[in-house]
Amino acid sequence: MIVHPIVASVVGQVTDTRWGQVLQTPHAYGVVEMYTPNGYARERGIAVLTELTNAFASPPVSLGGLTEIADRVMRDDIVSLVLLVPVGSTLYMVSRGNGKVYLKRGEQLAILLTQSQSLSGDARVGDVLIVATAGFVQTLSSDEIISVFDHLTPSEVAEKLTMRLHEKEGGEGGAALIFQVGEVAPDEELEEEKKLDEVMVRPSPTAPPMLLHRAKAVGRRVTTLKQRILLRKIAAMIRKHPAFSVQRVVTIIVVSLFLLSVVLGIRHQQLAGTRSALTETLTEAQHAFDEGMALLDLNPVKGRDRLNQAKDLLAPVVSKKLQSADGQKANKLYAEVVDNLTRSMHITKVTPSVFYDVSLLKQGAAATELSLFEDTMGVLDMNGKTVFAVGASSKSGSVVGGGDTLTKVSHIAVYGDKVYVWTQNGISMIRLSDQKTVPNVIPASSEWGTISQMVAFGGNLYLLDTQKSRIWKYVATDKGLPAGRQGFSELFEYLNPDTLPDLSKTTNMAIDGSVWLGTTTGTIMRFTSGKENPYVMQGADTPLGANLEVSTDDSTKMVYVLDADHHRVVVFDKDGLYMSQYVWENTLRVTEIAASESLHTLFLLADGKLYSVTLQ
């Protein structure tokens, strides 16, 4: 019996320390997962695959032989090593480390092999084996695996499992082989083919024997075993027919060979053209890859662009699953491109942890807005009319203001030891030193429309008015006040008279000398010295969503953009070039962010609590 498998690969994301891949050779299959704390997982993994490929140049014929190969290859940095070799109709399987082998037969999914075990058994047509590493097994449950099978081909199943593996956290380094038994050919068919060879027509002394040998050689290359058996049966029947003659058969064979040689000549020309196009594609893709890698440090955006070009060139070639030498080169280069492209995007999957819960200071309190200045975080509970101060490094918090003076309070801004709160009746100030509230340091103005945010910068106060598309500015002054006291000037317009932007779709404001505005239109607006200073974000792996908020100040080198639609914070430099991103599960509804590069922390406001993420 001979097993004819249909195989497909599932490979998760890789990092410097975690790497996984699928092994496919003419005689053996398997999966490998590496973990190297020193950051050389990919290099070690490729070395292991090379060693396995060489080991399977001559296939093992027993379970003991396969076990010997697995033990010889196994190293401390191999998390999972699972090998599968079909010999006749028997499947030999060996596992080392923490991998698993599942068997799907009908609608049932069972575990055949786990950890360091060995097993052999007969295959049935339709059986599907999932040979998986630890990263795959720990990320996807049995129910999730079985749910993707719905009379789909192995390649379609692999595509679905790959998407699920990439969507989930913790799948780095995971890999799986989908191995379906597509056909089991009985040994009797092989014996029958040999017998029929003896029945075939023997040429006369005048017949050119090389033509017949060539015919048989060509036939073996272009037909399957069952087709050859059928043809030999037909030939045997013809031989018994009264009209049969050796000379006639030889003539037919010669004519057929001539026609076949014409067809093969045309096919050869087509293949030559295909190989030439493939070689050209490989050369162009290799050039784009080399150039992209060289540019990554100098110009990350252009470097990633060239890597994407290489990926786009190779994708159609890889999809054809060519087994030629050039096809294998394309597969290897494509894997390198995808690996480096993922690494260059600096995508970090995070699980934000609770940084502070203001309900610990006041029962039922919920944070609705935050403002960060150096080590002090001002937190506003709008519904509870309460102001909290939280130490960004110490995590110590206290109630610093509240009561009737904060009726209809909406916004908060921190500068120095002062916390400013905006209400419809005016702007009040709370001194952190003695927690005294000074009401209406800035009275309410008839010029105000809808104030959506207040920011303190350089001691001055800025108000974002989305109704009137204005940015109001109050300059700090001590003119006419007793010594040690501070007040504010009359209301000014920050924007120049000839600058008339539409601010109705803005979401928030940040200031670092320039004024930055998030929007609901998928853009970030920037104004410098009262004039618009366009800011174009470029280089992100996927387009930003529509709802954006921005965080930056004069102490940060980067611009942090909350992309609420995609549950992430995307980091750009102040020229608009993509740098990195932090992605979390979509169950966390983040409404506001603040970044402290000195503390290496990104603060998130979500569901009434403060969360934090460590900046890489």
pLDDT digits (tens, 9 = 90+) for 487-519: 899 999 999 999 889 999 999 999 999 999 999
The pLDDT value recorded for residue 204 is 42
- The mean pLDDT of the chain is 87
Asked whether residue 536 falls in the same domain as residue 593, the answer is yes
Task: Give the CATH number, domain containing residue 458.
Answer: 2.120.10.30
Averaged pLDDT for residues 360-366: 95
Q: Is residue 295 part of a domain?
A: yes
pLDDT at 211: 45
Q: What is the rounded CA–CA span in Å between residue 514 and residue 534?
A: 11
Q: CA 245, 249, 253 angle in degrees (round to 5)?
A: 170
Asked if residue 211 and residue 171 are part of one domain, the reply reads no
Is residue 33 scored above 90 in pLDDT?
Answer: yes
Residues 136 and 234 in one domain: no
The distance from CA 43 to its chain's CA centroid, rounded to whole angstroms, is 20
Tell me, yes or no, whether 560 lies in a domain: yes
Q: Is residue 250 part of a domain?
A: no
SS3 per residue for 190-211: HHHHHHHHHHCCCCCCCCCHHH
Is there a domain that residue 291 lies in? yes
Q: Evaluate whether 93 touches 84 at the Cβ level (below 8 Å).
A: yes
Listed residues 185, 220, 235: the one ending a domain: 185
Query: Based on the number of CB atoms within 10 Å of its own CB, is 205 exposed (0-12), middle (13-18) or buried (19 or more)?
Result: exposed
- Res 210 pLDDT > 80: no
| Domain total in the chain | 4
The residue out of 166, 185, 204 marking a domain boundary is 185
- pTM for this structure? 0.54
Return the SS3 of 167: helix
> How many Å apart are CA 436 and CA 482, to the nearest integer?
18
* Segment 366-412, tens digit of pLDDT: 999 999 999 999 999 999 999 999 999 999 999 999 988 888 899 99
Report CA Rg, the chain. Answer: 35
Mean pLDDT of all residues in 132-144:
92
Tell me the C-alpha distance between 154 and 157, whole Å.
5
Residues 224-248: tens digit of each pLDDT: 556 666 766 776 666 666 665 666 6
538 and 394 share one domain: yes
**Which of residues 243 and 582 earns the better pLDDT score?**
582
368 and 331 share a domain? no
**Is there a single domain that holds both residue 359 and residue 336?**
no
Give CA–CA dist 187/184, Å, rounded: 9
Q: Residue 425 above 80 pLDDT? A: yes
* Whether residue 518 is found in the same domain as residue 542: yes
Are residues 421 and 273 both part of a single domain? no
607 and 485 together in one domain: yes
Range of the domain at 408: 353-614
- CATH code of residue 336: 1.20.58.80
Neighbours of 129 (CB within 10 A): 25
529, pLDDT greater than 90: yes
Domain identity same for 158 and 12: yes
Higher pLDDT: 185 or 288? It is: 288
- Range 139-165 average pLDDT: 88
- Percent of residues in the chain assigned helix, strand, coil, to nearest 5: 30, 35, 35
Question: Do 121 and 38 belong to one domain?
Answer: yes
3-state secondary structure of 464: strand
325 and 228 part of one domain: no
Where does 200-245 have alpha helices with state H?
209-222, 225-240
In a domain, 366, yes or no: yes
Higher-pLDDT residue of 539 and 615 is 615
